[in-house]
Chains A and B, each alone.
Chain A
Amino acid sequence: MTLPPQLAELVDDFAAVTPKQRLELLLELSRELPELPERFADAAGTMEQVHECQSPLFLAVEVDDAERVHLFFSAPPESPTTRGFASIMHTGLDGEPATDVLAVPDDFYTALGLAQAVSPLRLRGMSAMLGRIKKQVRAATG
């Protein structure tokens, strides 16, 4: 599986620890999700909601002139798991070339080894996030 370097590193980090530590890692990541820039203040109006997530999650995707992808997420603090997933996406994919983002396998998240601790329905939110990111990247680069 070919992943952008930051994402590959994250997957390795998760794979190297116990299931319980994976949750701690996810919690740490959830705290690192960057604040939204002012221009996305009205999340519901300007961002796309990922309905598959069990908690409200909004995302916006921008592709710059160099065809690099920039990701923005809005998720409430009472949804740390969803924030953690968003943070994985942000850490792993923000600033990467559009072609590399489109090449990320849809099931990459299975390599994080979270299935024991996180239900399938929760994990589904992550694959849905990636799906929507790719769709927006395609629309912006197409």
Chain B
Amino acid sequence: MALQNDPDPKLAEYAHPERLVTTAWLAENLGADGLVVVESDEDVLLYETGHIPGSVKVDWHTELNDPTTRDYVDGARFAEICGERGITRDTTVVFYGDRNNWWATYALWVFSLFGHADVRMLDGGRAKWVAEGREMTTDAPKPEAVEYPVVERDDTAIRAFKDDVLTHLGKPLVDVRSPGEYSGELLHMPDYPQEGAVRGGHIPGAASVPWARAAAEDATFRSRAELAAIYEQEQGLSASDDVVAYCRIGERSSHTWFVLTHLLGFEHVRNYDGSWTEWGNAVRVPIVQGTERG
């Protein structure tokens, strides 16, 4: 059974307040039946240095990605990952992580591909929890294994592939990488052995909105009004638009996907996880170099 929503007034402003919890709510609800807290970080060792009591770790690189195909794990593997962490199909899963919840939103997005119903972000993530001096532990939780059903991933609603983006050209695209990556000047960085691209630039028509603009100093999401000012007023996007967001491998853009979908209430946002490492290397796809949208 899903837990009650966090009634915090800041969250109430967002289009889907049920997708967020505050640190205060989480502190009160830790240990509640039906709740599992998942830490997902950029730094693969950070969880081991201390985590929110009872929280379990999901590593984006080794656990959510299939080891051979460039794709996410299948339903059977996902069921194992969840089941061994005590997550059932009905569990309320609260995600948090380092670096403005960048990787936590990525994990939440992958859970959403599997249609896990009750997924929430901890507003402010790990940084805010620590800054408030809340309890951390190095004790490893020992969740009782549970049954998670094998569900087929649905890639149609919130995930875009290269061919989808080719047919999408002319409609709204958001490039969430740094300005240097957007213009293409960053390709001469040394040693990008496996995640680089042979050309720098951006997808034609893409607006440059670096993902971290959506985060405040304390790693919380900016207020609804501030987010609307960036994406709606400044960029001219609206909630009924068909939007594709991308970055380099699809992780930073999952943060923007979360913001547009759950905080601003956009109805049709897809994350192009192939992103620049695919597009910038693909034969016969158009790119634009420089700071103009193209």
* Chain A interfacial positions (CB closer than 8 Å to B): 23-24, 26-27, 30, 52, 54-55, 77-82, 84, 116-122, 124, 127-128, 131
Contacts and interface: CB of A to CB of B under 8 A. Distances in A.
A81 B189 contact: no
What are the 6 A-B residue pairs with the smallest beta carbon separation, nearest first? A80-B45, A120-B194, A119-B61, A81-B43, A81-B45, A27-B45
Contacts of A55: 42-43
A118 B44 contact: yes
A122 B189 CA distance: 15
Nearest to B126: A78
A118 B195 CA distance: 13
B277 to A, nearest CB: 10
B190 interface: yes
Nearest to A30: B45
Contacts of B61: 117-119
B62 A80 contact: no
Contact residues of B: prevailing secondary structure: loop
A124 B43 contact: no
A121 B250 CA distance: 14
A89 B61 CA distance: 24
Given A118-B61, A121-B195, A77 B49 contact: yes
A77 B45 CA distance: 11
Contacts of A131: 190-191
Nearest to B49: A80
Interface string B187-211: 0011111110000000000000000
Contacts of B98: 78
Nearest to A82: B43
Interface string B42-80: 111110110000000000011000000000000000000
Nearest to B249: A121
Contacts of B127: 78
13 contacts: A23-B48, A24-B48, A26-B45, A54-B42, A55-B42, A78-B130, A79-B46, A80-B45, A118-B44, A118-B61, A119-B195, A124-B191, A124-B192
Contacts of B130: 78
A55 B45 CA distance: 13
A27 to B, nearest CB: 5
Contacts of B192: 124
A118 B42 CA distance: 10
Interface in B177-235: 189-195
Given A27-B49, A77-B49, A117 B44 contact: yes
B43 A80 contact: yes
A128 B43 contact: no
Contacts of B44: 23, 81, 117-119, 122
A127 to B, nearest CB: 6
Given A124-B191, A128-B191, A78 B45 contact: no
Given A52-B189, A118-B61, A131-B190, A78 B46 contact: yes
Nearest to A114: B44
A34 B192 CA distance: 29
A120 to B, nearest CB: 4
Nearest to B194: A120
Contacts of B62: 116-117
Nearest to B67: A116
Nearest to A26: B45
B255 to A, nearest CB: 15
Contacts of A30: 45, 49
Contact of A78 (B43, B48, B189, B193): B43
A52 B189 CA distance: 9
Of the candidates B45, B48, B190, B193, the one having the most CB atoms from chain A within 10 angstroms of its own CB is B45
A122 B62 CA distance: 13
